[in-house]
Structure 1
Amino acid sequence: MNRPFFKRHTLLALLPVMGAVGLGLAVGFAPAPHAQAEAPALPATRNDLDQQTLSRVVRVTTPTLDFSKPEDFENMPGGAATTRKRVNSNIFSQSSANITFEQEGTFKLGNALFRKVWVSAPSSTQASDGLGPLFNARACQNCHIKDGRGHPPEGGADSTSMLFRLAHAPTTDDEKTKLADKRQLVIPDPVYGAQLQELAVPGLKGEGRIDISYEEIPVTLAGGETVSLRKPSYQAKTLSYGPLHPLTTLSPRVAPPMIGLGLVEQIHPADILAHADPDDRDGDGISGRVSMVREPRTGKPALGRFGWKASVPTIRQQSAEAFAIDMGLSTPDVPLHTGDCTQNEPDCLSLPNGVQKRLGDTEAPSPVLDLVTFYSQNLAVPARRDAGDADVLKGKQAFYGAGCASCHMPKYVTRKDAPYPALGFQLIWPYSDFLLHDMGEGLADGQTVGDAGPTEWRTAPLWGIGLTKTVNGHTFFLHDGRARNLSEAILWHGGEAKPARDRFAALPKPERDALIRFLESL
C-alpha cells in the first residue's frame, strides 16, 4: 500500500501541530482578506473530548491496512442511528434508529411538511399558499425524490430534480466588496437572479428552460475495454424576460441524497481541518481546501460543509434557502416572500404573497422550518450490505490502493456535545473529507461560489451510493448527472483526482469490477 494515500489521516501524529495546520488553512487558500482574518476562530483541535478519549477516537478512525475482513462496526455506517429496515425504494426515508418515541413524532411531522404541496396565493388553503411567484418545485420531495438523488432530464422527463444556478464575475467595486467579506457568495444574474425558474404561478411566465445536449467521448481502459463518457452542453432557451447578462454562467445541479446530513453536521470542524492541505505541503498532489462562509443568523465565520460547493454551513440554512429559491417561500431565516424574483421582474414582485399574520410573518413560519430541519437531520443511513464478501473486500483494497481514500475519507466520530444525543459520539462512515478539490476542467462549471473556484467541488459522501438504483430507479452521478454509472463517474475525475482516476483505468478488469462492487455495497 502506498503510504501517501494515508497522509493526514493518522490524526494522532498531527496533534502537536494541529494549531499550525489550522492557521495555515486560514491564510493558505487565499479567499477574501476578511475571511482570512477570521478563519482561525474555528477550533483547531477537538474541544469536546478529553485526551484519553481523543486518543481512542484517533485509533478508531485511522484508515485500515487490513483488507482480509470487515472492520468493526463497518456494517453500521451511521453508527447507532443506522437504519436496519428492509431495503426497498423507501430506505432513504427512514428515521435515525436511536431517536426517542417523541422525536419520531417530530420526524413524521417534518416528513409531512417535506412532502407538502404548496399552492399560489391567495388560496382557500391558507396554511399552504405562498408558492412562487417563480419556482422550480411545489414540494421539497419533488426535487429530493424519495429523499434520494436527482437526475437530469431523460427521455422527455422533466428537470424538476435538476436546477441551474446563475452567477457571474463581479463587475463593480460594490460587488467585489460583497464577495470579499462573504456577504454574498455569488453575484446573481441581474434579471433572472440566482437560479433559473422554469415554473410560475398562474398569470406569470416561467423564466425559461435549458436545452441539454451530449457529446460522446470514448475512453480505453486496461485490457482494451472501451467505455463512452457523455460531455454535456447547456443552452438557455425561450427566456421570458430578455437575455442573460453576458457574463452569466449556468451551473447544473442535481439534488443530492438527504441521508446522514445530521451526522455530517456533527463532525467536529477540527477533524475536517486536519485533512486539509491547501498548499500541498507534502507534495502528493492533493490539496483539499476548507470552504469558509458566514452563518447567516450570527454573521460569524463558519465551515461550509453542505452543497456541491460546500457553500452552506448548516442544515437549517440549506432548508431555508431551498424554501426561498426553489419554491419561493419565505421563512424566518430567509424572509423573501417573492423568492428569487429580481427588481427587473416587476410583474413577479407585484403578485400577492402567502403570509398569514395569524400564523406568523412568513409563508413558512418557524414551526415549519424547525420541523423540516429536524426531519432532514434525522434521515438515517442504511446498513451496509455484503461488507464481508470476498469481492467487496478486494474492491475495498483497490479503492484504497488507487488513492480514492485520500479524499473520500472513510470514517469519523461525531461530536460528543451534539445537541441531539442520537447524533452525538457516533462512529460514522461517510467516505468524504468535506473539502474542496480541483476536479479538472472536464467538470468545471465556470462559477466561483465563495471559496470554491470553477473547477472545485466538495468531495461527495459515498454512503448509500449503491442504493441509488433501488431508491431512484437510475444510476446518474456527479453534480450534473452526466455519469450513467459509477465507472463513468470515476473516469470523469480530473485535476487532483486524475492520478487516482488513472490508477482505476489501469487496473485489470476483475479489480475494476471489484472496486465497483465495493462502492455498490456502501
Structure 2
Amino acid sequence: MTRRYFAIALCVVASTASADLSELRDLHLDVIPRTADETARIARVTAPTPDFTVAETFETNPGGAATVRARSDADAFSQASGNMSFEGELNFKVGNGLFRKLWVSSPSSTMASDGLGPLYNARSCQRCHLKDGRGHPPDGPEDSPVSMFLRISVPAASDSAMEEIEAFLDSIGDTTPRTRPDPVYGGQIQDFATAGHTAEGRMQIDYEEIEVALSGGENAMLRKPNYSLADPAYGAPHPEAMLSPRVAPQMIGLGLLEAIPVEDILSHADPDDADGDGISGRAQIVWSVEHEVPMLGRFGWKAGMATVKEQSASAFAGDIGISNPLFQAPSGDCTEAQEACIAGPHGDGDARRWEIDAEGLDLVSFYSRNLAVPARRDVDDPQVLRGKQVFYDTGCVACHTPKFVTHRLDNQPEQSFQLIWPYTDLLLHDMGPGLADNRPEGRASGHEWRTAPLWGTGLTEQVNGHSYFLHDGRARSRLEAILWHGGEAQAARDSVVGMPPEDRAALIRYLESL
C-alpha cells in the first residue's frame, strides 16, 4: 500500500557565494510541466475578482475536485478527498487508523503499538488534532493542555551539523538569529511521561484583559497571555531560553498546499516592500531531513517544515516520542542531560526497525495529505458578498491570497491541477509586537508568522466546539483574531476598528462562510 509521492524541493543551482531566492529551482517528481496556454489561463483564473455582486465560478469548491460536501456534524474535517479512487480510500482508512492509534510504553505485548515516550505530549495524533481540527488552550485549571504545548529554544552560534543550510542562509544575506533546542529540555516541553519517568513540567498561562474601542460605540475585549514553565522537573531551563506556545492547527487541505508550485508562492514575496504597500512577505527556507536540501517551508505556524511527510514524522518524534525513518531517536525529544529517558526501554529493534516504520509513516502522510476541504456555504448571501468586498478592500488579500492552481501530478491525482482557495500566501509576515513570541525559527524572526490558511475556519465551532484562533488560541472569536493583527497588518486591523459596524459584521459573516 505504499506509494511514491512527489516532493517540492529547492535546490541551489548557483554557487552559495552568489545565491539568492531567484536562483532556487523546483525539483519535482511526477510533475507535468505547464504549457504556455495553461500558464496564461491560470493567471486569469487566479486574478483577484473586481465583481462582488455574485459569487465567482467554482468558489463553492475551495479544494477543487477534492472538495467534499460540508457536513453538519463534528466529522466535517475528517473526510477523504472527494476525487479519491477506491484504492486510495483503503489507504486513507488505514492511515486514519494509525493517526488515531493510542501508543503504549515499552516493553509491551502490543508490539505494533509500543514505543510511547518516555516523555510525550499526547498518545496519538488525534489527541492533539481533535477531530482533525483545531486545538485550544486549557479552558481553566481542570482542562487538559493536550492539544497545546510550548516550544523552547536558546540562542546559538553556528552548528556544524547544520552547516549546509546555514551556509545557504548566509549566502542570501539572512541575519535571523540562530537558535538551538534547550540543552536540558530539548525542542519542546513534554508535559506527560510513561511510568517510571517524570514529565518535564507544565505550561502556565496568565491572561490580562485589554479593552478595544470600536466604531459605532462597540467594543471588544482581548486577552493578552503570559507563558511560563511551572514545576520544571529537570532543573531550570537555560537562562536565555525562549518559550513559544503552539496549538495544533486544523489538518484539512495539506496535500493541496504542498502541491502549490514554488514559483507561484515566491511570486508573492516582497521582502523589501518594493511596491510600497506595507506588506513584506518572505519565504521560509528550511533544511529538509527527507530530501537533504534546502526547501521552501510551508507547514507549521512559522512554516518550519517543508513537506507533509516531514511534518508528520517530526510530530511522531516530538509529540509522541515515536521513532521513524526521518527522526530515528527512540527516545524522541529527550536530551543527553535526561539520562533515564535516553536509557529507558523503547520499541526499536523488532521487525518494524523503528517504532513506526516507513510504510506506516507513508500511510499517515497519505491520510494527512487527503483530509478534504469542505464546500463553502452561503456564497451568494448578500451579506457574505458584502463581507467579501470588505475583505478585499481592507487589504486582507495581500497576505491571505485567495486562489492558486496546483501542479499537474501523475501519481497524486487528488491534488493534481486543482483550482484551490486556501486564503494564504504561505509566506512569513511581521505581525507586530502584540503577537510576537520573540523566538526565531529558521528565517522567521520573533515577530514573523506564516499566513494561516482560512479555508474551513467557519466550521471550527461545529467540529471542535470552540472559536479559539491564532497560534496560541488567545483569540476567542474571529474579531479578536483580527484585532491582534499588527505590523504589516496594522493598517488593515485599524480599518476594521474604524469601519461602519455593518461592514464589520459583514466581514465576520464572510469569514464564517469559509
User: Would the aligned equivalents of 1:126 and 1:356 in 2 still touch at CA under 8 Å?
Assistant: no
SS of residue in 2 equivalent to 1:501: helix
Selected match of 1:167 from 153, 167, 188: 153
Which position in structure 1 is the counterpart of 2:4? Answer: none
Structure 2 CA distance for partners of 1:449 and 1:79, relative to 1, 3 Å: same
Q: Does 1:193 align with 2:186?
A: yes
Which position in structure 2 is the counterpart of 1:408? Answer: 400
Deviation at 1:34, TM superposition (A): 7.6
Which position in structure 2 is the counterpart of 1:480? Answer: 472
User: Would the aligned equivalents of 1:394 and 1:511 in 2 still touch at CA under 8 Å?
Assistant: yes
Q: C-alpha distance in 1, partners of 2:404/2:411?
A: 17
- 1:263-314 deviations in whole A, cap 9, x for unaligned? 0000000110000001111111101000111221331121111110011110
Selected match of 1:40 from 23, 37, 41: 23
Give the residue type in structure 1 aligned to 2:495: R
Q: C-alpha distance in 2, partners of 1:177/1:354?
A: 32
Structure 2 CA distance for partners of 1:474 and 1:377, relative to 1, 3 Å: same
Structure 2 CA distance for partners of 1:274 and 1:44, relative to 1, 3 Å: farther
> TM-score under structure 1 normalisation?
0.91
Structure 2 CA distance for partners of 1:131 and 1:182, relative to 1, 3 Å: farther
User: Would the aligned equivalents of 1:92 and 1:148 in 2 still touch at CA under 8 Å?
Assistant: yes
SS of residue in 1 equivalent to 2:295: strand
User: Would the aligned equivalents of 1:76 and 1:428 in 2 still touch at CA under 8 Å?
Assistant: yes
User: Would the aligned equivalents of 1:131 and 1:328 in 2 still touch at CA under 8 Å?
Assistant: yes
Selected match of 2:287 from 291, 294, 315: 294
- 1:382-406 deviations in whole A, cap 9, x for unaligned? 0000000000000000000100011
Spell out the pairing of 1:94-493 with structure 2 (5 A cutoff). Answer: 94-155=79-140, 156-171=142-157, 180-181=166-167, 186-358=179-351, 360-417=352-409, 419-493=411-485
- 1:136-173 deviations in whole A, cap 9, x for unaligned? 00000000000000000002211000011001111577
Deviation at 1:357, TM superposition (A): 2.2
Where is the helix percentage greater, Structure 1 or Structure 2? 1
Which position in structure 1 is the counterpart of 2:34? Answer: 49
RMSD: 2.3
Structure 2 portions without partners, runs of 5+: 1-9, 170-176
Which position in structure 2 is the counterpart of 1:11? Answer: none
User: Would the aligned equivalents of 1:170 and 1:176 in 2 still touch at CA under 8 Å?
Assistant: no
Which position in structure 1 is the counterpart of 2:486? Answer: 494
Selected match of 2:57 from 72, 90, 94: 72
Q: C-alpha distance in 2, partners of 1:255/1:424?
A: 27
Q: C-alpha distance in 2, partners of 1:383/1:172?
A: 46
Deviation at 1:225, TM superposition (A): 1.1
Deviation at 1:417, TM superposition (A): 2.8
Q: C-alpha distance in 1, partners of 2:349/2:386?
A: 59
Q: Does 1:507 align with 2:490?
A: no
Structure 1 portions without partners, runs of 5+: 1-21, 28-32
Give the residue type in structure 2 aligned to 1:168: V
Q: C-alpha distance in 2, partners of 1:304/1:487?
A: 28
Deviation at 1:421, TM superposition (A): 1.1
Give the residue type in structure 1 aligned to 2:135: G
Give the residue type in structure 2 aligned to 1:400: Y
Q: C-alpha distance in 2, partners of 1:72/1:173?
A: 51
SS of residue in 1 equivalent to 2:264: helix
Give the residue type in structure 2 aligned to 1:193: G
Q: C-alpha distance in 2, partners of 1:181/1:224?
A: 54
SS of residue in 1 equivalent to 2:365: helix
Q: C-alpha distance in 2, partners of 1:174/1:356?
A: 29
- 1:454-501 deviations in whole A, cap 9, x for unaligned? 000000000000000000000000000000000000000000000011
Give the residue type in structure 2 aligned to 1:339: G
Give the residue type in structure 1 aligned to 2:107: P
Give the residue type in structure 1 aligned to 2:37: Q
Q: C-alpha distance in 1, partners of 2:239/2:164?
A: 21
Give the residue type in structure 2 aligned to 1:55: A
Q: C-alpha distance in 1, partners of 2:21/2:405?
A: 26
SS of residue in 2 equivalent to 1:216: strand
In the alignment of these two chains, the number of paired residues is 494
Which position in structure 2 is the counterpart of 1:12? Answer: none
